[in-house]
Amino acid sequence: MSATAQNATRGVEAPSGKGAGDENFPVGSFLLPKRLRPHVRAYYDFARAIDDIADDEALQPAEKIRRLKAFDAALKGEAGYGAEFHKAHALRESMRETNVPTVHGSDLIAAFVQDCEKLRYRSWDEVLGYCEKSANPVGRYLLDLHGENKSGYRYSDALCTVLQIVNHLQDCADDKRSLDRVYVIDTWLAEEGGSVDDIDGREASPALRRVIDRMLNGCDDLMVDARRLPFVLKSRHLAMESAVIVRLAGRLIELLRRGDPVAMRVALNKRDFAVAGVAGAVSGFFAAGSAKGKRLINGG
């Protein structure tokens, strides 16, 4: 990128310094086809740019929304958006080349706009509704990029929703402290005799612990469909990648049941990644295009 473009970018983006190596789950790993990795990178770079804007503590909500909506306009090819939106332009061109709809980028922006407007969640359905925009488009993008059947959305949606919820639980203390943003369901906390203020403690209160477990129970229910994803995919590469992520998601649920995300960072370690990488890649290799997958796609 030229110096002019770099200067322009500083005027609209809000870089956090985070990259693909900071994510819980592999982004554009070697398991994906080499020819598609640049497109996955373009999608990730776009998502990271808009996520950083939404999470910037120094920006006012109105300014965040203005920048996010400008990114959406640039992604859609509207006139008047220059080099400062180069990540939106790059993704639009990538999606044009691969025949993937820009809605998978616009939905992410809608989620981050919601982050600027809504700080509390009162029900499981509200949390799922947020995940429909913030997480599920990622899986749908990958399925469309690989030319998969859209009937597979059901299974990728389940996996992506789990990934989003466990990430919310991992970061519940940081999100509350830095952004006053709480995805832990406040009415469930009230039912248990607690409140969102419990998240500010040195450790999870008994009420918060019960709500965390209740949300993890919901994730376990979603994992029934999530574990079916590798079996409905035609692409062996994507099946292997998704099988790895399924195993990592299941492992993180286990860790969150045992650990306290208020008292400490509950995270995957190198061994978790290694075990999931080997076992998931092997299982995904044999799952792709299986008879079981055909039965699932056909409703059997």
Q: With contact defined as beta carbons under 8 Å apart, do 47 and 108 qualify?
A: yes
Among the listed residues 90, 270, 52, 290, the one whose alpha carbon sits nearest the alpha carbon of residue 179: 52
Residue 56 C-beta-side C-alpha neighbours within 13 Å:
24
Question: pLDDT category, 7, cuts 50, 70, 90?
Answer: very low
Phi-psi region of 163 (alpha: psi -120 to 50; beta: other; left: phi over 0): alpha
Output the six-digit token pair for 292.
Answer: 């079981």
Among the listed residues 247, 58, 222, 250, the one whose alpha carbon sits nearest the alpha carbon of residue 136: 222
Q: What is the pLDDT of residue 298?
A: 61
DSSP 8-class letter at 268: -
- State pLDDT tens for residues 243-268: 999 999 999 999 999 999 999 999 99
Q: In whole angstroms, give the CA distance from residue 67 to residue 61.
A: 10
Q: In whole angstroms, give the CA distance from residue 38 to residue 45.
A: 10
Question: pLDDT category, 11, cuts 50, 70, 90?
Answer: confident
CA-based end-to-end distance of the chain: 51
Q: What is the pLDDT of residue 222?
A: 98
Cα–Cα distance list, 299 to 136, 204, 239 (Å): 21, 42, 19
H or E stretch covering 17: none
- State pLDDT tens for residues 105-135: 999 999 999 999 999 999 999 999 999 999 9
Q: Which residues contact 242 (CB under 8 A, 6 or more apart)?
A: 156, 159, 229, 230, 233, 284
213, amino acid identity: D
Which domains are delineated in the chain? 1-15+33-117 (no CATH), 121-300 (1.10.600.10)
- State pLDDT tens for residues 191-243: 999 999 999 999 999 999 999 999 999 999 999 999 999 999 999 999 999 99
Among the listed residues 85, 36, 48, the one whose alpha carbon sits nearest the alpha carbon of residue 241: 36
